[in-house]
Every structure is written in structure tokens, then in C-alpha cells.
Amino acid sequence: MGSTTHLVSTKESMKEASVKTNVIANFAGRAWISLMSLLFVPLYIKFMGIESYGLIGIFISIIALFSLLDMGLSSTLSRELARLSATKDSAQESRNLVRTLEVIYWGVGLVIGLVVMLLAPVIAHHWVKTQGIPAKTVQQAVMIMGLVAAIQWPSSLYAGGLMGLQRQVRLNGVWMSMATIQHGGAVLVLWFISPTILAYFTWQIFISIVQTLLLAYSVWKTLPATHNESVFKKDLLQKNWKFAAGMTGITIIATILTQADKVILSKMLTLTVFGYYILAFNIANAVIGLVNPVFSAIFPKLSQLIVEEDNENIVSDYYHKGCQLASIIVFPVAAILAFFSVQVLQVWIRDPVIVQNTHLLLSLLVLGSTFNAVMILPLSLQLAHGWTRLSFIKNVFAVIIYVPLLLWLVGIYGATGAAIVWIILNVGYFLIEIPIMHNRLLVNDMWRWYFKDVGIPILIAFCVVGLSRILLPHNGSSFLVLSWITFTGMTAFSFTAMAFPFTYEWLRRVKNI
């Protein structure tokens, strides 16, 4: 009996060590990628101008809009490879599944590239409102965007494969290396070759080729070896169509919700004002990026546990620990950006005009993104159970309300109206989705999530940072302000982490393995 207990304990410890390793790798990767993305923004704006930076925002929106064509395949691959890893004699099926989805993905990538190139004249001459960039240059930039999108597109499939195989250390190694070369190289190109948006996107072509090939190689090298050739299998599509279809529906509606503001604003505002909004949105979106590493580690593990374990308490334990870890990291950062938006932009951008036009947008968008971030882990629990209907139906109702409200408030308040709608959308998710989810999954855990996982830590973080903002000395030097913000963030992080004593115990046990 003692031997059996020891084996179970060892198995559980190995699982926790794997989750810990993946979480650490994901946070390191996301943190570095976010640092690279944000660190060079002032240089991009300095070399190209805020209007050209708005074009980069349009490129990001184009990629996001075409994520509709993912058809749920990258999430399907991640989930199925995680499930197959817990099943005997599944090596050949795993390899055939990757080959099948790979063929589809490369075909979709080519379609995306052609469509963007064909739409380039329409976007340049009839959509964006430029003041200092010739329409011909915009058209050329959009055509290059199409080529970059086609090459970059399959990367998300290979990334999903590595997540499902729980090789997230390798995945983040590739991402971190490529992010460094991508952003650092772009600045060098702008500095020494040509400070233009065309030079920027031309450099992205090279980066996209290298990253996609590296990820493809990593997936195929990691898959278990077999004696048979990997082949396209139509029956694998039929086997997984229900989950993929559900993910497609979620992706379509979610893309409308997350990109409608950019599409509407890029049409209604000048490219310069749109650039302010994109700058604020990209910073606020980093809050959501903070929770993605936890999702990437927890989702395949939950999918595996649901197959392996017949104990809901184990699933609940991993789920709540993931939610709490996300809260510890997200809320202090979100509070800093919301309360110190002016100071952060002053220290970072050092352009009074940009700070004046961006700080309110940043504060509002961060609040909406905070509520969005805390809903990502509940989504992982739904997807691990293969339950996609709730998220799809929720988003359908959200679109019906969101788009008309967006058009109305943008017409009245401009970009600020879009930020207000973003808050309304995500608060609605927070209040409505959780009770419905816990009526079916972990039925006794709803109030534990609301109060312990989210409520107490967000109250602590925002109170600590809010008080610090009130006490901030006026007319301090940039060094003093930066030091004050850093100390405030560390204090908020420490106090928030103290709200989770048994998470400390979990991390302590993992550390001692």
C-alpha cells in the first residue's frame, strides 16, 4: 500500500514538474517577446512616424481577421496531440494528423497571401486615410503584408503542435530567438538602410520564412518515430470535425469582437489617430499576453488529465492553481498600466503629443483587457472538455450587441468610445459566462473562482497601486518615477501572491522535486 501511494505521489510530482517547466518557459518566452515588441516601438515611431506605425496595426488586424481561416485546426492539433500522448500505439496517428492539417494550412496560407495582395489597391485608396504617406506606398506595403501573411500563417499550426506535445521550452526558445532578430533587425534596417514602412515589411518576409521552417522542423523532430510514412488522412478530419467546427465558430465570432474596433476606427479616423489607438491597444494587450503562458501549459495538461483521471478534484486543483497564478501576474501589471498610464508613456515614448493622445485610451483598454485575461483560464477548462458551444453562443450574442454599440460610441467619442465598449464587452463576459460554465463543469467551484481566484487578488493589487498613485510625488525626475512605479509593482505583486497560501505550498513542493 505504501509503495502504491509513493508511485501515485511520484507520478503527481512529475506532472506538476512538467506544468511548472512549461509555465516558466511560457512566461520567459512571452515576457521576452513582449519586451522586444514594446522596447523598439519608440524607435519605430522615431524612424517611420506614428502614421507608419498605424500601418503596422493594420497588418496585425489583417492577420487576426484571417485567423478565421484557421478553422479551429491549431487548437484541434494541440488538444489531440495531448490526448494521443496519453494513449498507447498512437504514434502513427499523431504523425498523420500533423501531415493532414499541415497540407490544409499551407493551402490556406497561399489563399491569404493572394487575397491580401488583390485587396491592396482597395485598402490603400478607399479605406485608410493617410496624410503623409502616398497611397502608392501604402498599396505596396499591403502587398508585402500579403506575402508575409502567407509565409507566417503555418507557424500557428506548428506552435499548436508543440504545445500539445508539451515541448513548450523548445517552442519558446524559437519564439524568443526570432523575436530578438525580428525587432532588433528591423531597427537596424530602418537605421542603416531605409527608414520606411516598405523596408520594415520587407525585413518581415525573411523573418517569417526562418520562423516557419524552424517550427516545422521542431514539430516533426519531436513527434514519435514510426516505420511508416506520414500521410494525409481524410478520416482524421472527420474524426475531429466537431471540435474543430466549434473552435471555428468561436474563432470567427471572437475575431469579429476583437477586430471590429480596428476595422471601424481605421475607416473613420485618420491613420495618425488610429496609430495612437493601436499603440494603446498593443500595450494593453500585453496584459492578456501575460496569461497566455499559463493557458498554454494548463490547457494540454487539463486535456490529458480528463482522459487519464477519474477524479474531478485533481482537475479542479490544476484549474484553480492556473487561475490563481494568472491573477498573481496579471493584476499588478494591469493596475500599474491603468493608474500610471501617463507616467509609463512619458518614460517610455518621451513624446508629449503621443502621451497626451494615448494615455486615456491606455487606461480604459487595460481595464477591459484585465477582465478579458481572467476569462482565458475558464475557456481552457471548457475546451479541455471539448465543450465549445458556450463560448460560441456567448460570442454570437456579444456581436449582436457589440458592433452597433461600437458604431454608436465611436461616432460620438471616437477612439475613446471604442475603449469604453471594450470594457462593457469583457465585464459582460465576467458576469454572465462563469455562472453558466459552472452549472455544468466543476459545479461547486463558482464562488471559489469569483472570490478567491479573482476577487481578492484584484482588490489587493488595485488598492495598493491606486494608493501609490495618490502618493506619487509631483514633478519628480524620470528616474524617480520609474523607481516609484517599479517598487509599486513589486509591492503589489508580493501582496497579491500572499493571498494564495496553498499555491505557495504547491510551488514549494514542485521546487523540491
pLDDT digits (tens, 9 = 90+) for 158-202: 888 888 787 878 888 888 999 999 999 999 999 999 999 899 999
Residue with cell 528616474: 479
105-109, 205-209, 351-355, 507-511: which range is least confident on average? 507-511
CA distance 289 to 360: 21
Asked whether 296 and 380 are in contact (CB, 8 A), the reply is no
Q: What single DSSP character describes residue 89?
A: T
Question: Higher confidence at residue 485 or residue 76?
Answer: 485
Residue-level pLDDT at 361: 95
pLDDT over threshold 50, residue 222: yes
Instruction: Write down the residue that cell numbers 471539448 correspond to.
Output: 386
Amino acid at 406: L
* HSE of 185, CA atoms in CB hemisphere, 13 A: 16
pLDDT at 20: 67
Cell 475531429, located at residue: 240
Q: Could you give the C-alpha distances from 109 to 70, 114, 147, 245, in angstroms and in order?
A: 10, 9, 9, 19
Residue 250 pLDDT: 65
Position 32 confidence tier, pLDDT thresholds 50, 70, 90: confident
Length of the chain measured in residues: 513
The set of cell numbers assigned to 49 is 512616424
241 pLDDT higher than 90: no
CA distance 358 to 273: 9
SS (H, E, C) 244-313: HHHHHHHHHHHHHHHHHHHHHHHHHCCHHHHHHHHHHHHHHHHHHHHHHHHHHHHHHHHHHHHHHCCCHH
Q: Is the Cβ–Cβ distance between 299 and 78 less than 8 Å? A: yes
Give pLDDT tens digits for 421-474.
Answer: 999 999 999 999 999 999 999 888 999 999 999 999 999 999 999 999 999 988
Q: Please, which pLDDT band fits residue 479 given cuts at 50, 70 and 90?
A: confident
pLDDT above 60 for 3: no
CA angle 80, 85, 90 (to 5 degrees): 85
**In this structure, are residues 365 and 422 in contact, taking their beta carbons and an 8 Å threshold?**
yes
Per residue in 390-401, pLDDT (tens digit) is 888 888 888 888
Please say if the pLDDT value at position 6 is more than 60: no
- Of 148-162, 198-212, 291-305, least confident by mean pLDDT is 291-305
Q: What percent of the chain has pLDDT over 90?
A: 29
- Sign of the dihedral through C-alpha 147, 150, 156, 162: negative
Measured distance CA(297)–CA(274) in Å, rounded? 35
Instruction: Quote the pLDDT of residue 4.
Output: 42
Do residues 391 and 441 lie in contact, with contact meaning Cβ atoms separated by under 8 Å?
Answer: no
Confidence check: pLDDT of 259 > 90: no
C-beta of residue 218 within 8 angstroms of C-beta of residue 170: yes
DSSP 225: P
pTM above 0.75, yes or no: no
Percent pLDDT > 70 in the chain is 85
Better-scored residue on pLDDT, 341 or 315? 341
Q: How far is CA 6 from CA 1, 2, 9, 163, in A?
A: 9, 6, 5, 29
Confidence at residue 388, expressed as pLDDT on a 0 to 100 scale? 79
The total of other beta-carbon atoms located within 10 Å of residue 21's CB is 15
Which cell is 312 given?
Answer: 474531478
> What crossing angle do the helices spanning 135-152 and 91-122 adopt, rounded to 10°?
170
Check: CB of residue 273 under 8 Å from CB of residue 415. Answer: yes
Look at residues 39, 45, 36 and name the one whose alpha carbon lies nearest to residue 358: 45
Check: CB of residue 361 under 8 Å from CB of residue 276.
Answer: yes
Whose grid coordinates read 501576474?
A: 329
List pLDDT tens digits, range 282-300: 889 888 888 887 887 777 7
Task: Give the residue-averaged pLDDT of 136-163.
Answer: 87
